[in-house]
Structure 1
Amino acid sequence: MAAVPPVCDFGWPAVDATLRGTDGKMHSIFGQAGPNGLVVVFICNHCPYVKAVVDRIVRDARDLGEHGIGFVAINSNDAVAYPEDSFDKMVAFARQHGFPFPYLHDEDQSVARAYGAVCTPDFFGFNREMKLQYRGRLDAARTEPAPPELRRDLYEAMVQVARTGKGPQEQVPSMGCSIKWKDAA
């Protein structure tokens, strides 16, 4: 069943954390910010929504880098219940898709909880002050192939953030598989 995150809480401050990346190194979330902002996206390896858009995520991350926007992806899913989301599978997924950004493992799910992440993919776009300006979708295609003329919602919003520090007032939420939370013991 698809999950949909809430609308953008403009000005909400980003949360920093240091997590292990698929390159074997520890990365701070804030350390990935560019001079004009940062996109933090919660993804996983097995979600059909992520699989359908992963190449467009990589494209937009590269293109946003030219505008001074950094990018980081985080997997917070329970890898015991969903073995396809294990760290080893994350390494293969990042390599297979040529991630130009760190792909981090939120093993204890504390970062997803701090952000209020709901689904995969769930995009958080911050300005240079690390204040939330975008919490919307990648584009309207969702799980369908994207025609060349399709509006790139995330990209266009973050280019605006890079230029003005403010995101668009109207945003369409992302949609995806729910975060796979560990059972509370």
Structure 2
Amino acid sequence: MLLETPVCDFGWQAPDFELKTPDGVAWTRDRVMGGNGMLIAFICNHCPYVIAVIDRLVADINAIKEAGVGVACVMSNDYAAYPADAPDKMLAFADTHGLTVPYLVDEDQSVARAYGAVCTPDLFGFDRAGGLQYRGRIDSAMMKDAANRVPELRNAMMSVAKGAGGPRVQTPSMGCSIKWR
């Protein structure tokens, strides 16, 4: 089911969390937070929208990390119903696509609920004070040819990293619904 994310609620505070990677390493909001902000990306392995953008997302994440923004990806789908999203498959997915940030399992889906995540990908970009500044799409290309894309997420988070905040006009992300239990 195709969904769009809601409009950015500027200044909304990032909820705390404690999640683990598939190999058991625990991460919290404060551990993810970088000196210039934080990006939480709700993704999964099987969504065609994520698959279409993952390599561009990884490149943008790498640039965002270099700007002092902490990044984590969160998988909140019911992987009993969608085995392609199971933790062991998350490790292979991250390795295949060069994802070097924590890819966290939201086992009870509480973090997705706390953040109000609705789809994959769903992107939450926060400033260094933990206030929401970006909730839009990865880029203008979406599932199309990316040759002339505008990297909206990267541009927004670079602005946030410089202390200038996110853009006032944002295009919602769209993707497959979170697979709730």
By the TM > 0.5 criterion, same fold?
yes
In structure 1, distance between residues paired with 2:152 and 2:23? 29
Look up the equivalent residue of 1:3 and give its one-letter code: L
Look up the equivalent residue of 1:156 and give its one-letter code: N
1:3-152 alignment runs, 5 A limit: 3-147=3-147, 149-152=148-151
* % same residue: 55
Structure 2 unaligned regions, length at least 5:
none
In structure 1, distance between residues paired with 2:23 and 2:50? 20
TM-score normalized by the length of structure 1:
0.95
Aligned length: 181
Structure 1 segments (4+ residues) deviating >3 Å: none
Give the secondary structure class of the aligned counterpart of 2:162: helix
* Aligned Cα root-mean-square deviation (Å): 1.0
Answer yes or no: is the 8 Å Cα contact 1:49–1:177 preserved in 2.
Answer: yes
1:153-168 alignment runs, 5 A limit: 153-168=152-167
Answer yes or no: is the 8 Å Cα contact 1:61–1:70 preserved in 2.
Answer: no
Answer yes or no: is the 8 Å Cα contact 2:141–2:150 preserved in 1.
Answer: no
Quote how far apart the aligned CAs of 1:165 are. Answer: 4.3
Quote how far apart the aligned CAs of 1:145 are. Answer: 2.7
Deviations, residues 137-170 of structure 1 (Å, cap 9, x unaligned): 00011112311x3210000001111112411100
In structure 1, distance between residues paired with 2:30 and 2:116? 17
In structure 1, distance between residues paired with 2:71 and 2:28? 12
Determine the structure 1 residue equivalent to 2:173.
174
Answer yes or no: is the 8 Å Cα contact 1:128–1:165 preserved in 2.
Answer: no
